[in-house]
């Protein structure tokens, strides 16, 4: 199925689509961090860099002079630049594009979605019912963010399969095959254009209507800005959170002592969620080098793509004590799962809320569960990491 050349030397030929990475990336990162903190690769157009230390990741995230956000996915073949403000924006365009969206994703607004999220989780649990076996990713985790985002955008929840197909095309197939990514972009634009027409005729209390009504420096947003932001919200808000929920469930299925403790001490759940975010951070971003510089002893050449791995930074023992251990009561945990600096994940409050409620509701319904023996858990490839098949046996 996959014709990629296996990696022999991770320091000069890294590949985040290698099956070894997909299966278990953490030992690879640990080894690189100790002997070559910035790995390189020529598998990606104009070369790619992979810094593994927290301090280097932080420095790049803060340095928009040398590292642009205009490309946020490392690809084998670069696509034409397609702005998705504010994630692809650099200063000075970044601040207004971000400020426009911040209120919609602030804790006060996100709190209003809690009841609906809980109802979504409960209906999924009802559907699992009293089955002895289920798939935690397919039957539960993957549906929660799709339905919440659909609600926020005011689009049909039943379009989830379409959304997941586009995400797969943009983030996975599209890394090797630019046509797949472009096809998804065109389909998303057509989908949102139809939705925009509906909102123009009949505005609602949803994000599409909000963007159409926005006052952006005395003018409405351009069509390209609206479409770019809508594509961003759809792509960034779904498989990321689905991965976070799934990885948390996977950990709890495999660690009965943590499961028991969370049931005995429900007040610990927010702390545990932050630890799952640190240890199993779903999201890796990218930057494009726009000005030559040196970091971690490695020269960065203009045009090069940087795999900006917050997950690897979060496993750096120089920053986190016992970095390779998952401690659900880790009190001091300034993790970077939602990024660092001006591009802090816009949806972080939403993701945290969904993860917390999803796990809370699952534990309330199924306090005792385990990874099904003899069936394989599979993990997504590429820049968003989470379980895609998570066979679970519920003990009753």
Partner 1 sequence: MPNVKIMRVSIAADRCQGHNRCCLVAPELFEADDEGNAKVRGDGIVPADLEPKARLAVANCPEHAVRLTGI
* Alpha carbon distance 134, 372 (integer Å): 9
Q: Which residue has the tokens 């890796």?
A: 284
Which x/- pattern over 252-291 shows residues binding partner 1 (rule: CB under 8 A)? ------------------x---x-----------------
| Beta carbon nearer to partner 1, 40 or 117 | 117
Nearest-approach distance from CB 62 to partner 1, in angstroms: 10
Instruction: State which residue, 61 or 208, has the beta carbon closest to partner 1.
Output: 61
Q: How far apart are CA 330 and CA 119, in angstroms?
A: 30
Chain mean position to CA 98: 18
The H-or-E segment that residue 65 falls in is: none
Say if residue 132 is exposed, middle or buried (CB neighbours under 10 Å; 0-12, 13-18, 19+): exposed
* Pairing state between β 38-41 and 67-68: unpaired
What is the 8-class DSSP label of residue 79? P
Dihedral sign (CA 122, 124, 129, 134): negative
Question: C-beta of 189: minimal distance to partner 1 in Å?
Answer: 29
In the complex with partner 1, the residue whose CB is nearer, 303 or 334, is 334
Q: How far is the CB of 312 from partner 1 (least distance, A)?
A: 15
Choice between 179 and 321, CB closer to partner 1: 321
Q: Which residues contact 180 (CB under 8 A, 6 or more apart)?
A: 169, 173, 174
**Nearest approach, Cβ of 338 to partner 1 (angstroms)?**
6
Q: Among residue numbers 344 through 383, which ones bind partner 1 (CB under 8 A)?
A: 344, 348-349, 352
HEC sequence for 265-328: CHHHHHHHHHHHHHHCCCECEEEEECCCEEECCEEECCCCEEEECHHHHCCCCCCCCCCCCCCC
Give me the torsion for CA of 209, 183, 337, 371, rounded to 10°: 110
Q: How far is the CB of 332 from partner 1 (least distance, A)?
A: 4
The least distance separating partner 1 from the CB of residue 47, rounded to whole angstroms, comes to 29
Footprint of partner 1 on 330-349 (CB under 8 A): 331-336, 338, 340-342, 344, 348-349
Contact letters for partner 1, residues 76-115 (x by CB under 8 A)? -----------------------x--xx-xxxx-------
177: CB partners within 8 A, 6+ apart: none
User: Cα 154 to chain center, whole Å?
Assistant: 22
Q: How far is the CB of 239 from partner 1 (least distance, A)?
A: 21
Q: Which helix (H) or strand (E) holds 41?
A: strand 38-41
* C-beta closer to partner 1: residue 78 or 342: 342
Cβ partners under 8 Å of residue 126, min gap 6: none
Shortest gap between Cβ of 25 and partner 1 (angstroms)? 21
Give the shortest CB-101-to-partner 1 separation in angstroms. Answer: 9
Q: Residues touching partner 1: how many (CB under 8 A)?
A: 23
Measured from the CB atom, the residue of 1 and 331 that comes closer to partner 1 is 331
Whole-angstrom CA distances from 278 to 312, 316, 377 are 10, 11, 20
C-beta of 9 vs 205, nearer to partner 1:
205
Shortest distance (Å) from residue 277 CB to partner 1: 11
Closer to partner 1 by Cβ: residue 81 or 106: 106
Q: Which is nearer to partner 1, 172 or 357 (CB)?
A: 357
Structure tokens at 155: 């689009």
Pull the structure tokens for residue 210.
């909000």
Question: Which residue's CB is nearer to partner 1, number 253 or number 357?
Answer: 357
What part of residues 130-169 is at the interface with partner 1 (CB under 8 A)? none
Chain residues in the site for partner 1 (CB under 8 A) = 99, 102-103, 105-108, 270, 274, 331-336, 338, 340-342, 344, 348-349, 352
């Amino acid at each position: 199925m996959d014709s990629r050349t296996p990696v022999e030397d991770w320091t000069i030929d890294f590949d985040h689509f290698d099956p070894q990475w997909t299966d278990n990336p953490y030992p690879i990162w640990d080894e690189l961090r100790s002997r070559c903190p910035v790995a390189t690769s020529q598998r990606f157009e104009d070369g790619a860099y992979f810094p593994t230390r927290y301090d280097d990741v932080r420095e790049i995230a803060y340095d928009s002079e040398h590292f642009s956000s205009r490309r946020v996915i490392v690809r084998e073949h670069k696509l034409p630049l397609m702005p998705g403000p504010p994630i692809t924006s650099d200063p000075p365009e970044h601040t207004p594009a971000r400020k426009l969206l911040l209120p919609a994703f602030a804790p006060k607004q996100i709190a209003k979605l809690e009841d609906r999220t809980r109802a979504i989780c409960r209906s999924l649990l009802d559907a699992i019912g009293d089955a002895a076996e289920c798939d935690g990713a397919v039957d539960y985790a993957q549906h929660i963010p799709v339905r919440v985002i659909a609600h926020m955008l005011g689009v049909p929840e039943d379009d989830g399969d379409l959304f997941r197909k586009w995400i797969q095309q943009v983030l996975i197939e599209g890394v090797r095959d630019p046509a797949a990514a472009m096809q998804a972009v065109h389909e998303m634009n057509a989908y949102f254009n139809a939705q925009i027409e509906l909102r123009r005729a009949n505005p609602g209390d949803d994000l599409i209507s909000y963007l159409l009504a926005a006052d952006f420096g005395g003018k409405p947003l351009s069509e390209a800005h609206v479409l770019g932001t809508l594509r961003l919200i759809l792509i960034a808000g779904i498989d990321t959170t689905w991965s976070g929920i799934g990885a948390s469930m996977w950990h709890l299925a495999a660690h009965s002592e943590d499961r028991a403790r969370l049931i005995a001490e429900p007040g610990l759940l927010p702390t545990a969620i932050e630890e799952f975010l640190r240890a199993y951070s779903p999201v890796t971003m990218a930057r494009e080098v726009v000005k030559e510089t040196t970091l971690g002893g490695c020269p960065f050449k203009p045009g090069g793509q940087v795999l900006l791995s917050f997950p690897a930074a979060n496993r750096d023992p120089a920053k986190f004590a016992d970095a390779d251990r998952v401690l659900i009561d880790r009190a001091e945990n300034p993790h970077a799962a939602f990024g660092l600096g001006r591009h802090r994940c816009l949806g972080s409050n939403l993701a945290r809320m969904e993860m917390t409620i999803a796990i809370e509701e699952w534990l309330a319904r199924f306090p005792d569960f385990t990874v099904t023996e003899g069936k394989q858990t599979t993990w997504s490839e590429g820049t968003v990491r989470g379980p895609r098949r998570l066979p679970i046996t519920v003990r009753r």
